[in-house]
Homo-oligomer: A and B are copies of this chain.
């Protein structure tokens, strides 16, 4: 048990090793691990021997098996095996999910088709089916793993940023996401598969990684895990669309801030393998003759488009940009509206499944084919509409829809009364708000595919208009090249999905999805224009969700905001840094811990020099303090006092078991956040597992948990740390659980006799007052940092580091905070919060608030070289005449700059 615990702790240390963090027990861990492996190897060889003696007949084959197993185990730690397994599993998952969705959709069609005698029954079947599926999906995910709700890309973005959202990568979530997604998509609602697949792939990678670590555990490493998760995101997109290149690029754009090129091959390898298997399964299943694109187009190769059509493509791009921004805005609006309306909210919260059911009812009613659905091709599933939209024939030849020979699914677009333009417009408008609404349903779902289809429809609309306008094509030379509206659909799909997700790689996805790259330039132009427009209006859908869910993420710097080069760290840093000195006493520690809720505290040499030596976790300090005031130390003190007084106390009033019970109850008491049972003391703040952020908006304010080591019989002063108003009653009750507390005993002035047996030789007979006195004395002692884990090289910035650079460094290294130093002296601290505020402040209020109030002072003030020189001088003076007391450089520089 003890070994397991230390293993776990070592792993956690390893995980916290983001940058230069302290990892003491790794060496020990490596040794233990080696010993464990050696032992298991011996055990295995012992079984080998046993086998040989035991059974004569099939011994050989068994030996062979064991050897193969050994070989496999030795190989299993290698990256490419992991990636192949990941690709394989994800391809299978993707195929199975697709298969199930297809069956669901077919079942709906079959039911709908079978009941064509009675319109009402037909409607009931058309509506009930999706409502049941969505409700089941919502309920299932709600019960099994609420983390599985939604796209998952925002969470993956946060995780890849370095924040650990542990519950997002569990087996439960995997099951909930896969089944929930299948049901949700099987309902035929305008929902996407791609976002959830990124999450599913990451889940898969995390679980595989856990599984593989059973064999080659030494290689478990946080940076490797992050690399694998990044590859998994690529696999997710890759096997969803059979688009390996686009998948890699999309996942990079969506999840990363800085991308390590050395991980590039991982993504490509896994995504290609996955896409390959995904398509091969289709061939084996006789769905396809050979491996081709998912939504294959057949545009002509020799003259894909005319140069003069480019303005139309550019218009599609710009309009898609506005459309994409509108979509993100609409989506956010709906979420915020539902959250704000308290009465609605209360009602929906009580009946959690009502909201999905209502939304589904509304949408499916509107798409009911004999009803309004006839004007918007409501009969078609998402995939079918996409196929028809990408068709290379023109629907509106000569402007008259009737002339076109509608076959198969394309017939759904034809309506006897209205022409195809009206159908398309209605489709676009209805699907637009439907998709924005549907993606707010708490089921596992993405928004990429619906947006993609809407974009394709919009492109088709423009293309059909162009075809109607120029029936013989624009080209003026000898040969006639009619306009291909399908090409416009491709462009529109790429542009709108690019605008919503703020990515350029949708262009590549579109090529891989359609299997044709002939429209590369129009697509690229449209996508870039759409991005330019959308990025200047709204955040991406994923960033929007991150903001809604208040996930701990650092926003991006906008498109070429040069002004930000002018903000410096000194303008945004917090100058009033909480610090502890090397020679401080426990009282200082106590007061510092009482004051703020910072996760780490700076350790400086002394208050005069302010030389930064390192940083200490809050939890570390708390454990230091609790150790100093611990019961065992008090017992020792009592023992010593007893030895000094030569008195022998013999009245043992309690048994050991009772002591144990009391101890346990104390432990529970000090676990203020009781969610996890094994939290290592050195765990950094940012890596705390988060509850679904919707419920617990501010992560920062949660009190840090006290470590629950058995010696933690903490004292009064300590308790005041955690309970803002230390009530003595509770303490008393706590200290002698076994006796009912009388009203007299409750008064703190009274001497309450607490008699608990320690290790068997002395008795804890101190009164509360004595304890308080003893603790007061203890608090005056100097802190002994020997048993304390110090991060000896916390990240340091200089006052003049620009915001741009600070942002880069924070996002590169996944920092949570950084100290600002000036020639070794600590002068400030910048945390993610300040940085986020600075970036958001200057992003939203353009040109006005860009230069913070302090920045203007900086230019007109004295040259900083002088101030730094004087600071250096001070440092030097200190060496010459040692006593230079009471000077507080921090507050001084604070005054100077305000």
Using a CB–CB cutoff of 8 Å, the interface residues on chain A facing chain B are 17, 19-24, 26-28, 30-31, 77-80, 219, 221, 223-224, 244-245, 249, 252-253, 256-262, 264-265, 268-269, 272, 275-276, 279-280, 283, 289-293, 296, 298, 301-307, 475, 477, 504, 507-508, 511-512, 515-518, 520-521, 524-525, 528, 531-532, 556-557, 559-560, 562, 565-566, 582-583, 603, 605-606, 611-614, 785-787, 789-790, 792-793, 796-798, 800-802, 804-805, 808-809, 812-813, 821-824, 858-859, 863-865, 868-869, 872-873, 875-876, 879, 882
| Least CB distance, A801 to chain B, in whole angstroms | 6
Q: Assess whether B524 is in contact with A272, with CB atoms less than 8 Å apart.
A: yes
Cβ contacts under 8 Å, A304 to chain B? 290, 292
In the complex, which of the residues B253, B796, B805 contacts A261, with contact meaning CB atoms closer than 8 Å? B253
Beyond A23-B800, A24-B863, A603-B823, 18 additional contacts (C-beta under 8 Å) are: A20-B796, A20-B805, A24-B865, A78-B560, A80-B532, A223-B804, A223-B805, A244-B520, A245-B507, A249-B249, A257-B262, A301-B515, A511-B511, A582-B875, A582-B876, A611-B613, A790-B872, A792-B868
List B contacts of A290 (CB < 8 A).
Answer: 303-307, 475
Q: Considering the chains assembled together, what is the distance between the CA atoms of A224 and B561 in angstroms? A: 11
Cβ of A824 and Cβ of B524 under 8 Å apart? no
How near does chain B come to A418, taking the closest CB pair, in angstroms? 34
The chain B residue with its CB closest to the CB of A269 is B528
Q: Which residues of B contact A507 (CB under 8 A)?
A: 245
> What CA separation (Å) do A245 and B510 show in the bound complex?
13
A824/B301 in contact, CB under 8 A: no
A276 and B565 CA atoms in complex are apart in Å by: 32
A776: shortest Cβ distance to chain B, in Å?
A: 23
* Min CB gap A149→B, angstroms: 26
Partner of A521, one of B78, B291, B475, B808: B291
Task: Indicate if the CB atoms of A524 and B244 lie closer than 8 Å.
Answer: yes
How distant is the Cα of A67 from the Cα of B279 in the complex, in angstroms?
60
CB distance from A365 to the nearest CB of B (A): 40
Complex-state Cα separation, A224 to B283, whole angstroms: 49
Residues of B within 8 A of A873 (CB): 786
Give the docked Cα–Cα distance between A750 and B613 (Å). Answer: 54
Cα-based distance from A873 to B782 in the complex (angstroms) = 13
The answer on a CB contact under 8 Å between B260 and A261 is no
For residue A309, which residue of chain B has the nearest CB?
B290
Set of chain B residues within 8 Å of A20, measured between Cβ atoms? 796-798, 801, 805
**Among B23, B268, B293, B812, which residue has its beta carbon within 8 angstroms of that of A504?**
B268
Contact, CB under 8 Å: A265 / B303: no
* A614 touching B824, Cβ below 8 Å: yes
Cross-chain contact A515 with B518 (CB below 8 angstroms): yes
B272/A525 in contact, CB under 8 A = yes
Can you offer 27 A-B residue contacts whose CB atoms are under 8 A? A17-B802, A21-B798, A27-B863, A221-B562, A244-B521, A245-B520, A245-B524, A252-B261, A253-B261, A257-B262, A262-B557, A265-B504, A265-B559, A272-B521, A272-B524, A283-B307, A291-B307, A298-B302, A511-B517, A515-B517, A582-B876, A582-B879, A605-B824, A786-B872, A787-B869, A790-B823, A792-B823
Is the beta-carbon distance between A256 and B261 smaller than 8 angstroms?
yes
- Chain B contacts for A289, CB-based, 8 A: 303, 475, 477
> What's the Cα separation between A629 and B422 when bound, in Å?
89
Cα A307 to Cα B283 with chains together (Å): 9
| Contact between chains at B872 and A79 (CB < 8 Å) | no
Q: In the assembled complex, which residues on chain B have CB atoms less than 8 Å from the CB atom of A614?
A: 823-824
A477 to chain B, nearest CB (A): 7
B517, A276: Cβ atoms under 8 Å?
Answer: no
Closest chain B residue, CB of each to CB of A254: B261
Q: How far is the CB of A513 from chain B (nearest CB, A)?
A: 10
> A726 to chain B: closest CB distance in Å?
31
Residues of chain B lying within 8 A (CB to CB) of residue A520:
244-245, 293, 512, 515
